[in-house]
Amino acid sequence: MVHLQVEYHIGGARMARTSEAAKTTRRGRVFEQLLGEIQSGALAPGERLPSIGKLCARFGTGRSTVQLALGELAEMDLIERRHGSGTFVAGTSNVSVGSSRMLLCMPVSSHVYSELYGMLLRELHAGGRFPMVVDTESKPKRVALRAALRSDVQTIVVHGNMHFPFDELREPARRGVTLIGILGWETKTLRDVAHRVLLDMEEAGRCVARHLHERGHRRVLVLGTSTQVHYLTHREAFRGDHQRGFVTACDDLGIEWTAVDASGWLGDTVSLGDGRGRVIALDAREVLAPLRGRAACTAVYGMMDAHAWAIQDLMARKANELLDRIDIIGLGDTPWSRFGKPPFTSVAWNIDSIAHETALLVDGARARRGGPIEVYVKPNLIARGDR
């Protein structure tokens, strides 16, 4: 942070006024000192912080500066204010304390990604690495990330979606900090310096098409979100997306498909993407229509496992006779889905391999010279419900 001293010359007299940058610098100094004491354990969970007056005396600042620094710590859930009792270090926080110079940024509680988080931590712990963790589903995530980056981090592992503040990683990358993206790297930022362990999403789409073809299916009903359907019907999928892999493989194998926008599918109403960019509201009977008749689809592909469950449930309630002849395949095989013991085939993310490859890359990336490393992990097909 730049400290600027602005001078005003009025009637020959010189008057000095401290800029906002200087105020921010003082506040930042208070914030960083207290954050460091929390992360190091000098201020233990549950410990009461000194009063505002004592902190002002310690840092030589005014009350507003200390209060702003405490407010930033409170926003990160690192401290908590108890009415009538004072301010205390929180028992847990969005930035966990680690003993290594490594930072892990990823969702830690999402049902989709928490399993990857747990597997990755086990791999890292087995190698003697105990990273700090920033939960990227916490708010404000940018503040938590900035706080963690103030420590002497040498390696940063990131699983971030399009909402992740990738721009915050530019400065660490410039200093030579190792960046590793896992599962996806949904930004063009820092592609030239970040190592990546990625799921081969195109192969996931091709895997689905090959499985359907091997099962004898030539007409398929596809369920997905509005964005997924848009990419399918307009053939605008980004390189590396499963939609691209599925469409190109279907073209090669002679499979026809009809796409259904199942976004927010609750009850018996969905909307249909007809392949020409139009979306038509449908009820359950119309959704099931592509599965009936002489030119009926003989299989359903859910581009999320939730969509596979939805069509399974719809057929069970509205067209039970279809369950005996319609194959269903879902993409994801998340813990949520596995808990329900899905009767349909799934394409799994192979996250145990992603965790293992990431741990290997963490151990070797800093010693490697040359450009960034890319590792592509193939998905797994889990066949169920043979008909």
pLDDT of 240: 63
Listed in order, the ranges of the chain carrying CATH 1.10.10.10 are 5-89
DSSP conformation class of 190: T
Question: Above 50 in pLDDT, residue 10?
Answer: no
Spatial CA neighbour of 260 closest among 208, 218, 297: 297
Residue 100 binned pLDDT confidence (cut-offs 50, 70, 90): low
Q: Which fold has domain 95-193?
A: Rossmann fold (3.40.50)
Q: What pTM value is reported for the model? A: 0.68
Stretch 312-323: mean pLDDT, rounded? Answer: 88
Spatial CA neighbour of 79 closest among 90, 68, 71: 90
Residue, of 234 and 238, whose pLDDT is higher: 234
**What is the distance of C-alpha 353 from the center of its chain?**
18
Take residue 128 and report the two structure tokens written for it: 């003697």
Cα separation, 194 vs 35, whole angstroms: 28
The CATH architecture assigned to 5-89 reads Orthogonal Bundle (1.10)
Residue, of 30 and 143, whose pLDDT is higher: 30
CATH 3.40.50.300 fits 201-349, yes or no: no
Residue 105 binned pLDDT confidence (cut-offs 50, 70, 90): very high
pLDDT of 186: 66
Q: Could you write out the DSSP letters of every residue in 197-226?
A: EEE-HHHHHHHHHHHHHHTT--EEEEEE-H
DSSP conformation class of 294: T
Cα separation, 271 vs 273, whole angstroms: 7
pLDDT of 172: 92
Stretch 155-177: mean pLDDT, rounded? Answer: 88
Question: Above 50 in pLDDT, residue 254?
Answer: yes
Tens digit of each residue's pLDDT (9 = 90 or more) over 126-153 = 888 889 888 888 767 788 888 888 888 9
The beta-strand segments (E) located in the chain are 5-10, 13-18, 79-82, 86-89, 95-96, 102-106, 132-135, 155-160, 178-185, 195-199, 219-224, 256-266, 269-273, 279-283, 299-302, 327-332, 345-348, 374-377, 380-382
pLDDT of 289: 85
Of the given ranges (28-42, 312-326, 330-344), which has the lowest mean pLDDT?
28-42
Burial profile 317-355: b = 16 or more Cβ within 10 angstroms, e = fewer? eebeebeeebbbbbbbbbeebeeeebebbbbbbbbbbbb
Spatial CA neighbour of 34 closest among 64, 9, 12, 59: 59
Yes or no: say if 324 and 387 are a contact pair by the CB < 8 Å rule: yes
Stretch 33-47: mean pLDDT, rounded? Answer: 78
pLDDT of 296: 93
Stretch 100-117: mean pLDDT, rounded? Answer: 83
Q: What burial class does residue 123 get, using C-beta atoms within 10 Å of its C-beta: 0-12 exposed, 13-18 middle, 19+ buried?
A: buried
Q: Could you write out the DSSP letters of every residue in 328-355?
A: EEEEE--HHHHHT--SSEEEE--HHHHH
Question: Above 90 in pLDDT, residue 348?
Answer: yes
Amino acid, single-letter form, for residue 178:
T
Question: Above 80 in pLDDT, residue 6?
Answer: no
Listed in order, the ranges of the chain carrying CATH 3.40.50.2300 are 95-193, 201-349
pLDDT of 164: 85
Cα separation, 284 vs 158, whole angstroms: 41
Cα separation, 236 vs 316, whole angstroms: 34
pLDDT of 19: 34
Take residue 203 and report the two structure tokens written for it: 């192969």
Tens digit of each residue's pLDDT (9 = 90 or more) over 167-220 = 899 999 999 899 999 987 767 778 888 999 999 999 999 999 999 999 999 999
Cis bond upstream, residue 131 (ω within 30): no
Sign of CA dihedral 346, 347, 353, 359: negative
Residue, of 216 and 310, whose pLDDT is higher: 216
